[in-house]
Amino acid sequence: MLSQKFGPSHRIAVCERRPTIPPSPSDETAWNDIARFYLLGIGFRGQNALKKFGLFDDFCQASVVVNGRRDWQPGMTRVEDGNITPARKDTKSRVLPRDKLVGLLHHHIVENYAHSNIDLLYGYDLEPESFGDENVDVVTVRVSKCDEGSEKDRSSQFIPSQDSDPLCDVESFQISQTKLLIAADGSARTVANAIERHDADRRSSLNPLVRPFAPKPFKVTRYVDDNPRVYKSVPICLPSDWPCDLNYSARQSRINLEALPSDDKGNLCALLLMKPEEEFAQPNVDPDKLRAYFDEELPQFGALISDIEMALLAKKPASALPAFRFAGPRLNCEKRTLVLGDAAHTVKPYYGLGANSALEDVQILSDALDDAAVVADGDNDKSKIDAVVPTAVQLFSDRRAADSEALVMMSRNMDRPGKLFLFSFLLPLILDGIFHKLAPKVFGPNMFAMFQKQGIGFRQIQKKKRLDRALQLVCLGTLLTSAGLSIKAFVRVLAMVTGRSQGFISLVMATVAAMGIFFTKQTATKAST
């Protein structure tokens, strides 16, 4: 994207802490180990970005489409209990391993931008030294060499991103300067943390009388994970009579199973989502006990997992899901540094908004650079670069900061435990379904449907759902008030007709209602037995 806009006259460096270069997406031998790689579902947000940058055709060749879901509700274990729901989205999600997408991007750059002055620096870490000021309008960074933590890890074999833990030599480094620093360093947030310290130091240096009127400092809001989950992965090969282009899901009391297609041949990568304290989340558990659990709770999938794979599943440690975090109230520091992707907004991968929103960030940054170039008379040559970048950085922050916060807050509300889950997710989901059906022009659909709407940002979705919630409360309050007044008037009329007191009539009505509920429950119990 940067090379397309500014040409080979500007040197571009991409630093990646992991030292191993990702395999080509066409290298089938690299991707045969299905459970080794974490799968991503790329929806319309990510696909639109890939189309914009000319990667969509290659992406389609490297991914498989998901045409719907097959769900087993809690307590349902027979194969025929699985309910198939076709995908009704305008843009169907496509699935591929996370590292395969990285390999796709890497090889696209190598094959199409060989003469564009781009350095792909694998095995290097970057930390900001200075974000620039009025006198020195460049970003100064410290680049350190990294390597995997053991001799075994330093082999030529590619290490999946979730397993990689490189060590960086912070004592040996090189100082460099850049006119634009884009921090996409994930939930590690090395650059975001440095911006946070930079703003805190600058704020503390202000006069105490001026400090309350200064702009809010950059801050990474870190939520305590009150509903933590870990996962283990296992490959599943579907029978020939099962559709191979569906997302398979089964929910039980201790373990939820979510499986996505790894290819178009019936191979799935299944994730077992569990609480950290769950027995089967620990490493080196008894494979016979795990097999017995599958036979009892998930027999439709247990029959598809070989004894060898079950033993490997029991042996491996669980991986943790990230906690919710976002950066704000802006996504830039000074004129030439910005954060995007997980560095700006970290969510759990339940609803497919992590990688998709990161790719959307890049598209929005590209649009900001285009708009900034128009402001600078549309000339992106060397004489205009200093004007384009600061304007684009500010535009990106203005357009995306509120979306980043809204995305994390809404996603977190859908992942609360216990009673909070009822009031922050389940009840609103039910109310949205009822009110949208009654008045679709007034009330929006539920949150999942809103996320699938194109042309609307996360902040707009948040505002719409807050408005819906206020209108729903007004409607329910009016309905309950009217019902209360009607009952009160009915009691008054009965009291006048019978000559009894209103209190006596109310007591009789309450007794009759209680008896009706009791006998209804008794009848239902007898019918079920």
pLDDT digits (tens, 9 = 90+) for 198-241: 999 999 999 998 888 899 999 999 999 999 999 999 999 999 99
The amino acid occupying position 393 is: V
Q: Answer whether residue 367 shows pLDDT above 50.
A: yes
* Residue ranges of domains in the chain: 1-43+95-178, 66-92+229-320, 180-223+326-411, 419-488, 499-528
For residue 299 the two structure tokens come to 């027999």
Could you say which DSSP state residue 222 is in? E
Average pLDDT, integer, range 159-177 = 69
Q: Could you tell me the pLDDT band of residue 527, with boundaries at 50, 70 and 90?
A: low
d(CA 355, CA 249) in angstroms, rounded, equals 21
What is the predicted pLDDT for the residue at 256?
A: 95
Q: Answer whether residue 171 shows pLDDT above 70.
A: no
d(CA 484, CA 268) in angstroms, rounded, equals 55
Q: Is the pTM value of this prediction over 0.85?
A: yes
Beta-carbon-side half-sphere exposure of residue 197 (alpha carbons within 13 Å): 11
Quick: pLDDT tens for 300-329.
999 999 999 999 999 999 999 999 999 999
Q: Answer whether residue 18 shows pLDDT above 60.
A: yes
Q: Answer whether residue 66 shows pLDDT above 60.
A: yes
Q: Answer whether residue 152 shows pLDDT above 50.
A: no
What is the predicted pLDDT for the residue at 518?
A: 81
| Helices assigned H by DSSP within 414-501 | 418-421, 427-438, 447-451, 458-498
Quick: pLDDT tens for 110-124.
999 888 889 999 999
What is the predicted pLDDT for the residue at 155?
A: 47
What is the predicted pLDDT for the residue at 82?
A: 94
354 vs 497: which has the higher pLDDT: 354
- State how beta strands 337-339 and 12-16 pair: unpaired
For residue 15 the two structure tokens come to 């630093």
Average pLDDT, integer, range 377-405 = 83
What is the predicted pLDDT for the residue at 291?
A: 96
Quick: pLDDT tens for 75-108.
899 999 999 999 988 899 999 999 999 999 999 9
Look up tokens 């003469």; give the residue.
Answer: 115
Q: Answer whether residue 361 shows pLDDT above 80.
A: yes
* Angular region, 69: left φ>0, alpha ψ -120 to 50, beta rest: beta
What are residue 124's phi and psi, to 5 degrees?
Answer: -135, 140
Query: For the CA atoms of 32, 33, 38, 44, what is the dihedral angle to 10 degrees?
Result: 10
**Domain 66-92+229-320 CATH assignment equals 1.20.50:** no
Q: Answer whether residue 258 shows pLDDT above 80.
A: yes
Q: What is the biggest distance separating any 2 CA atoms in the chain, rounded to whole angstroms?
A: 98
- How many residues can be counted in the chain? 529
Average pLDDT, integer, range 123-139 = 90
d(CA 225, CA 98) in angstroms, rounded, equals 24
Average model confidence (pLDDT) for the chain? 89
Average pLDDT, integer, range 436-461 = 94
Q: Answer whether residue 150 shows pLDDT above 70.
A: no
